[in-house]
Amino acid sequence: MRELHPDHDRVVAALTVPELAPIIDLVVWAGHDGEPAAFAANHLGSVRLEADGTHHVLSGIDPIPSEDPMAFLPYDAECAEPGPRLSTSNAYPYAAPRLLSFFSHPDRSPDLAIVHTPRHYFPDEGGHVGEHGSLDVIQSRAPLILAGPRVRRQGYAAAHARLVDVGPTMAVLAGVPEDDLVDRHGDPVDGRVLHEHLLPGEPRPVVGILWDGAHCGDLLHLAESGELPGVARLIERGVALRGGAVAQFPSVTLTNHTSILTGVGPGRHGVLGNVYFDRASGERVVPNDAATWHRSSEWLHGHVRTVFEMVADHVAPQGFPRSASIDEAIDRGADYSTMQLIRASGDARGADGLTDQLPDPHTSPFNVDPAHLEDHYFSWGVQVDDLGLQQIRQLWADPATAPRLTWWANVVTDAGHHGGGPRSAMARASLRQSDARLVAFLDHLEAIGALEEVTLVLTADHGFEGADPSVTGSWAPALDALGISYRDEGPGLIYLA
Ligand SMILES: [Zn+2]
């Protein structure tokens, strides 16, 4: 954990003025005073957060009085208002452990982080109508559904988990001994196996499916309404957690793909955000970009183990892939990997260079509204996800040669939620078309007689909230007025010189 910068107090004071409250939800950092602790402040007050969940108010009132991971449930409660206006009416699950992990990287953690209010709209700096990244419960709530022969059939359960639990749970179901859920230093992973939802049994093939940014509440609502028959089929054969799985902070894509697939938080795996600064190399790192998507091993630390590496350590080679990573950046150790195919192509443009070879989105059998293809990201998502379905059907052509662990990342759901915000026509269209691909895959498993043998996991990397286009502005002038040298990556990750 870094020492506090000499200008730290001035920076926090400048960012916690009432004038910035519409756009700044919280300023967060970590430090030592005796024990390592996390801190949060805004215009209402400041608090010290200990790892065991204890809050010590330092000034004013506690800016984050709730850490309830089940806040805004049932789903009607989330839909009833456009989003909390104050941090005191929001919830921030596992605030201390998540912040302590985020701030524990010696080179890549910023000095402090600014959490946008859910309503902040910042299109000039990359913001969208639908956004995520916050410490808050809705942007951190990813769906989690487990289904298959090793899963207790509970239907919709009033429960939650954490995304760091997903990889360890998949690894154990696939045959990794629980006592080997450790990194290369022998330290246990941060997540835990979700035994309360599992049945004992032999290792079986596991298929993990990620719908990037799929909104937990809306996904379950549509499944219950009969609009997502594939998801409903999974829930019939297992469990859907109402509280989903809590993302790591920041609730952004690559940080959480990495946390899912390694079982550890960002301070350990090193992917601090979709963009961050590395003091050791003096470089700004932008891992979450189509042009760099296939280079994850360059920023993922060597001492963490991916679930693919864990499977490779325990499942003997048999002449076909033991594990497969479809359209996933964090693919290290997978026998089959889309990103490895891109690396092998030698095209320096990465996934961008392969766009010409992707299926035509205009002839996709899964995209219903051609107008959505005018959004470039959505259109690319349709292409990538159609190719993903082709890959998983090939990998699962014959159950006798199918991987023990298959991981299939889907993109279009993130595009739909960014473009329209949660519950929008575009977001729901992205969920429906992802469900149609899921149905195609489940029908395929059924046709080859494998559906009863496979454990299926459906999750995402973060949630989403809708911004308010009338709430704009930037904190940059407040920082500039201090006359100090700083970098702001994200925006919101503040590195002081
Ligand atoms: Zn994402």
Query: How far, in Å, from the CA of 142 to the mean position of ligand 1?
Result: 10
Query: How far, in Å, from the CA of 163 to the mean position of ligand 1?
Result: 13
348 pLDDT more than 70: no
Query: How far, in Å, from the CA of 264 to the mean position of ligand 1?
Result: 17
Overall average pLDDT of the 242-261 stretch: 97
Assess whether 338 and 387 both reside in one domain.
yes
Residue 19 lies in a domain: yes
Cα atoms in the Cβ-side hemisphere of radius 13 Å centred on 267 = 17
Higher pLDDT among residues 299 and 151, named by residue: 151
Assess whether 444 and 476 both reside in one domain.
no
Assess whether 373 and 247 both reside in one domain.
yes
Candidates 228, 21, 148; CA nearest to 455 is 148
Candidates 287, 281, 383, 406; CA nearest to 335 is 406
Assess whether 362 and 229 both reside in one domain.
yes
Assess whether 249 and 393 both reside in one domain.
yes
Residue 3 lies in a domain: no
Query: How far, in Å, from the CA of 414 to the mean position of ligand 1?
Result: 6
Assess whether 119 and 158 both reside in one domain.
no
Is residue 231 a contact partner of residue 435, using CB atoms and an 8 Å limit?
Answer: yes
Provide the residue range defining the domain that includes 434: 139-466
Query: How far, in Å, from the CA of 290 to the mean position of ligand 1?
Result: 13
Residue type, 474: S
Distance, in Å, from the CA atom of 471 to the CA atom of 312, rounded to the nearest integer, reads: 49
Residue 289 lies in a domain: yes
Candidates 122, 25, 73, 128; CA nearest to 464 is 128
Query: How far, in Å, from the CA of 253 to the mean position of ligand 1?
Result: 4
β pairing state of 455-459 and 206-211 = parallel
Query: How far, in Å, from the CA of 468 to the mean position of ligand 1?
Result: 20
Residue 2 lies in a domain: no
Confidence at residue 369, expressed as pLDDT on a 0 to 100 scale: 96
293 pLDDT more than 80: no
Residue 195 lies in a domain: yes
Query: How far, in Å, from the CA of 7 to the mean position of ligand 1?
Result: 33
> Residue 455 has which token pair?
């454990």
Query: How far, in Å, from the CA of 254 to the mean position of ligand 1?
Result: 7
Assess whether 209 and 254 both reside in one domain.
yes
Overall average pLDDT of the 39-59 stretch: 96
Assess whether 162 and 223 both reside in one domain.
yes
For the chain, report the end-to-end CA distance as a whole number of angstroms.
16
Query: How far, in Å, from the CA of 410 to the mean position of ligand 1?
Result: 10
Query: How far, in Å, from the CA of 491 to the mean position of ligand 1?
Result: 16
Query: How far, in Å, from the CA of 485 to the mean position of ligand 1?
Result: 31
349 pLDDT more than 70: no
Assess whether 215 and 290 both reside in one domain.
yes
Query: How far, in Å, from the CA of 463 to the mean position of ligand 1?
Result: 8
Query: How far, in Å, from the CA of 418 to the mean position of ligand 1?
Result: 10
Residue 1 lies in a domain: no
Confidence at residue 354, expressed as pLDDT on a 0 to 100 scale: 65
Residue owning tokens 């280079």:
295
Query: How far, in Å, from the CA of 330 to the mean position of ligand 1?
Result: 13
301 pLDDT more than 80: yes
Assess whether 186 and 260 both reside in one domain.
yes
Q: Which helix (H) or strand (E) holds 231?
A: helix 229-236
CATH number, position 192:
3.40.720.10
Query: How far, in Å, from the CA of 108 to the mean position of ligand 1?
Result: 20
How much of the chain, in percent, has pLDDT values that exceed 90?
87
Confidence at residue 290, expressed as pLDDT on a 0 to 100 scale: 72
Assess whether 218 and 269 both reside in one domain.
yes
Residue 333 lies in a domain: yes
Residue 69 lies in a domain: yes
Tell me the pLDDT tens digit for each residue of 218-241: 999 999 999 999 999 999 999 999
Confidence at residue 81, expressed as pLDDT on a 0 to 100 scale: 75
108 pLDDT more than 70: yes
Query: How far, in Å, from the CA of 461 to the mean position of ligand 1?
Result: 5
Assess whether 73 and 58 both reside in one domain.
yes
If one counts the domains in the chain, the total is 2
Confidence at residue 342, expressed as pLDDT on a 0 to 100 scale: 82
289 pLDDT more than 80: no
Tell me the pLDDT tens digit for each residue of 139-181: 999 999 999 999 999 999 999 999 999 999 999 999 999 999 9
Distance, in Å, from the CA atom of 373 to the CA atom of 362, rounded to the nearest integer, reads: 8
Tell me the pLDDT tens digit for each residue of 361-397: 999 999 999 999 999 999 999 999 999 999 999 999 9
